[in-house]
Amino acid sequence: MKTVILAAVFLAIGISLGIWTASRTFVGETLPTKPFVAYFEQLKVPEGGHEGPRLQVVGGETHDFGSLPLWAKRKHTFVVRNSGNQTLKLVMGKPSCDCASGEDLKQGDLLEIAPGQQRDIVLKWEIRSSNPQFAQSAPFRTNDKKRPSLVLAIVGQVEDAVRRSREIVTFTNVPASASVIESVRLETNQTDKLSIVGDRFLNPDTSGFFEVQFEPPTAEEAKEAFSRSMLMARITLKPGLPLGPFQQTLELTTNMAPAVPPLQIPIKGNIVGDILVFGPGVRTHARTVTLGVIPYGRGATRTVTVSVKGPQRHETTLSVKELVPPYLKVQVGKPDDSKPNVRLCPVTIEVPQDAPLDNLGGGGEGGRAGRIVLETTHPTIKQIELTVFYVVRNTE
C-alpha cells in the first residue's frame, strides 16, 4: 500500500513538474493540455495582465488594401494593445519606403502604452509603383521579451485599367525560317466588352515582321482570370528577321481611350540558325568555349552539345573539318533523336596531355585563340565554327 501511495505522490509531483515546466516554455501557445496550462497561467500571472509588457496587435499585423489605382493614398489603423502588467514601449524603425509612413509617427519615435491600454498606429501608403503587387512595412522594436520585433505591413495590388498576363512577350531561339505565335491575355474590370481600336508596332525597322490578331480566350486561357472582360492578343513573328536579338513594342489603343492611355507591350527575342552549340563554358551567341587554365602535362576534356533544329535535323550529321592548333582532338558522338523538335549531338574537345605550353586565351592585342570547324550535311548551314580559349601553362 505504501508503495502505491508513494508512487502516486511521485507521479503527481512529476506530472505537476512537467506541466509547470511546459507552461513556462510554451506560454501563450496552444497546447494539447491547454486547460492545465491556462490554470497554471492564471495562478502565475497577476490579474492585471501578463508578467512584464505584452504586445498584441488586434486584427492582424498585415493589412491588404486589395486593388488600388496608381497614386492612390490610403491609411490603415493598426491597434496595438498591452496585455501585460508593465508599460509597453515601442520604437519605430525605418519604413521600407517613404511611400509608407506613420501618420503621426516617424523613425525613432517612442510609444508607450500603459498596462491594459491600447493605441492606434496609423500607416499611410501612397501607391507609386507600377509593379503589379506591392508590399511595404514599418518595423518596431519593443520591450516585450517575447516579441522584441514587430513589423506592421500593408500590401496590395496596383490596379491597371488593362492588365496583361505577361509583362513581356518573348520569342526565344526562333529559327530564321520559322513563323511563331505567342499570346498575351488582356483583362479589364472597367468595361464588359474590351476591344482594341488601334494597334501598331512602334519600331519601324522590324514592324513588317509582326502581326497581331485579337480573339476571346480559350477556356484554358481564361481559367486563372477573373475580370469582367478579356481578350487574347495573338502576336505572330514572321520569318525573315536577321540573326541575332531584336526588340519591338506593340502599342494597343482600347475602346476605353482616351480615358485609358495606350498600352505598350514589349516584345523581345532572338533569331538563330538551325544549329546551336551549348554546354559548360560555352557562350552560345558568340560561339565560344572557354576551357580555362590547363596545367602542363595534364590535358583537359570538355563535352559540349550541338543542337540541330528544323525539318532537316534528322538528316544532319557533323564531322570535323579543321582544328587549330592541330594537336586538338575533337570527336563527334552519337546523335540523340529522342527529344521532340531537336537533335542533340555531343562533341568532345580534348587538349591532350602532351599539348605544349600555349596561350590561346584570346587576350591582348591580336590575342590567339583555338578554332574548331565542323562540317555539316545541313542544306543551308555548311559548317559551324567554334572559337576555343585556353592556356596551357606550368602551374608549379
Partner 1 sequence: MNTTWRSHGFSAALLAAVCGGGFLGCYERKDVSQPAPSKETRETPAGDLGEQESHPAPPVPKQAGKATSTEKAAADDLKPPPLFDGWSRPVLAFFVTGQQLGYIEPCGCTGLENQLGGLARRFTLLEQLREEKGWEVVPLDVGNQVRRYGPQPVIKFQRTSEALRSMEYRAVAFGPDDLLLPATELLSSISPPEGGSIFTSANVEIISRDLTPAWQVFQAGGKKIGVVAILGDSLRQKLQGDEVTFTPAADALKAALEKVREAGCDFYVLLAHASLDESRELARQVDALDLVITGGGIGEPTLEMERVKGSKAQMAQVGTKGMYVGVIGLFDDAIAPLRYQRLPLDSSYKDAPEMLKLLADYQEELRRIGLEGAGAREQPHPSGYKFVGTEKCGECHLKALAVWENTPHAHATDSLVTPPNNRGHIARHYDPECLSCHVTGWEPQKFFPFTSGYLDLEKTAHLKHNGCENCHGPGSTHVAAEEGEGDDDKRLMLRESMRLPLAGDKAKLKCLECHDLDNDPHFKFEEYWPQVEHVGKD
Residues 105-144 that bind partner 1 (CB under 8 A): 105-113, 119, 128-129, 131, 133-137, 139, 141-143
103-111, 211-219, 367-375, 378-386 -> range binding partner 1 (CB under 8 A): 103-111
Query: Is there binding between residue 11 and partner 1 (CB under 8 A)?
Result: yes
Q: Pairing state of beta strands 288-295 and 383-393?
A: parallel
Query: Is there binding between residue 202 and partner 1 (CB under 8 A)?
Result: yes
Q: Pairing state of beta strands 62-69 and 282-283?
A: unpaired
41-49, 104-112, 320-328, 345-353 -> range binding partner 1 (CB under 8 A): 104-112
Contact set for partner 1, span 41-70 (CB under 8 A):
none
Query: Is there binding between residue 236 and partner 1 (CB under 8 A)?
Result: no
Rounded-to-integer distance, Cα 141 and Cα 89, Å: 8
Query: Is there binding between residue 239 and partner 1 (CB under 8 A)?
Result: no
Select from 135, 80, 128, 77 the least CA-distant residue to 103. Answer: 77
Query: Is there binding between residue 79 and partner 1 (CB under 8 A)?
Result: no
CB of 101 to partner 1, least distance (A): 10
The nearer residue to partner 1, 247 or 322, going by C-beta atoms, is 247
CA-angle at 224, arms to 219 and 226, nearest 5°:
95
Whole-angstrom Cα Rg for the chain = 34
Taking residues 334 to 373 in sequence order and writing x for each that binds partner 1 by CB under 8 A, - otherwise, the string is --x-xxxxx-x-----------------------------
Find out whether the peptide bond into 325 is cis, omega within 30 degrees of 0: yes
Find out whether 41 and 19 touch, Cβ atoms under 8 Å: no
For residue 301, which phi and psi values (nearest 5 degrees)?
Answer: -130, 140
The nearer residue to partner 1, 194 or 235, going by C-beta atoms, is 235
41-49, 211-219, 281-289, 349-357 -> range binding partner 1 (CB under 8 A): 281-289
For residue 9, which phi and psi values (nearest 5 degrees)?
Answer: -65, -45
Query: Is there binding between residue 283 and partner 1 (CB under 8 A)?
Result: yes
- The three-class DSSP label of residue 13 is helix
Query: Is there binding between residue 211 and partner 1 (CB under 8 A)?
Result: no
DSSP character at residue 32: T
| Helix spans in 170-268 (H) | 219-222
Contact set for partner 1, span 14-33 (CB under 8 A):
14-15, 17-19, 21-22, 25-26, 29-33
Taking residues 80 to 99 in sequence order and writing x for each that binds partner 1 by CB under 8 A, - otherwise, the string is ---------x-xxxx-xxxx
Q: Which residue has the cell 498575351?
A: 184
Rounded-to-integer distance, Cα 106 and Cα 94, Å: 8
The nearer residue to partner 1, 122 or 357, going by C-beta atoms, is 122
Query: Is there binding between residue 394 and partner 1 (CB under 8 A)?
Result: no
In this structure, the chain runs to a length of 396
- The three-class DSSP label of residue 12 is helix
- The whole-angstrom distance between residue 309's C-alpha and the CA centroid of its chain comes to 29
The nearer residue to partner 1, 11 or 38, going by C-beta atoms, is 11
Query: Is there binding between residue 222 and partner 1 (CB under 8 A)?
Result: no
CB of 306 to partner 1, least distance (A): 10
The nearer residue to partner 1, 135 or 391, going by C-beta atoms, is 135
